[in-house]
Amino acid sequence: MRLCHGLVLMLLSGGAYAASGSWSADDTGPGISWRGVAASSPPLAPSGAVPAQASIREVVWRFQLLNPSPDGLRVKLCTPQRCIWLGSAHGRSNALSGAPAGAPLRFVYHVEGKGVLYPPLRVTSNQVIVNYQ
């Protein structure tokens, strides 16, 4: 009887393990020439299949700018349903936990204020790694 329970537990845990995984994506980002205007990156999505019921466990991000970060730069990372503010150009967060793991992510950039932004903001790279279960 114990052997039977042990086998069932192994099969159940193996099924949970099989649904775990990760995907990564990267692309260039937008440019912004005016303060007070938000710009979104292209969608970053998995290149392969993600199990339909999989949800995000953790997101790791990195973005790079051509020039130093302008005063008033605010960046958020968004799923189609919600966004999180990013406190730095790289990091990790579980604040998107529970969101669908196969959904695309976007970086949204905004420089507070009004008027021309000089030099313009140029995002040279957006990268995400999505760990899911």
Asked whether residue 41 is assigned to any structural domain, the reply reads: yes
11: pLDDT strictly greater than 80: no
**Measured on CA atoms in the order 87, 91, 92, 96, is the torsion positive or negative?**
positive
Instruction: Go through the chain and tell me how many residues it has.
Output: 133
Asked whether residue 48 is assigned to any structural domain, the reply reads: yes
CB 129 within 8 A of CB 41: no
Q: Looking at residue 132, what is its pLDDT?
A: 98
CATH of the domain at 87: 2.60.120.260
Q: Over the stretch 102-124, which tens digit does the pLDDT of each residue have?
A: 999 999 999 999 999 999 999 99
Average pLDDT over residues 69-82: 97
Place of tokens 């189609």: 80
Q: Which domain holds residue 51?
A: 22-132
pTM of the model: 0.84
Asked whether residue 69 is assigned to any structural domain, the reply reads: yes
CA distances from 121 to 34, 106, 128 (A): 9, 17, 20
Q: How many domains does the chain have?
A: 1
Buried b or exposed e, range 44-63, using 16+ CB within 10 angstroms: bbbeeebeeebbbbbbebbb
Asked whether residue 100 is assigned to any structural domain, the reply reads: yes
Q: Quickly state the pLDDT bin for 47 (edges 50, 70, 90).
A: very high
Q: Over the stretch 78-103, which tens digit does the pLDDT of each residue have?
A: 999 999 999 999 999 999 999 999 99
Asked whether residue 32 is assigned to any structural domain, the reply reads: yes
Asked whether residue 31 is assigned to any structural domain, the reply reads: yes
77: pLDDT strictly greater than 50: yes
Asked whether residue 1 is assigned to any structural domain, the reply reads: no
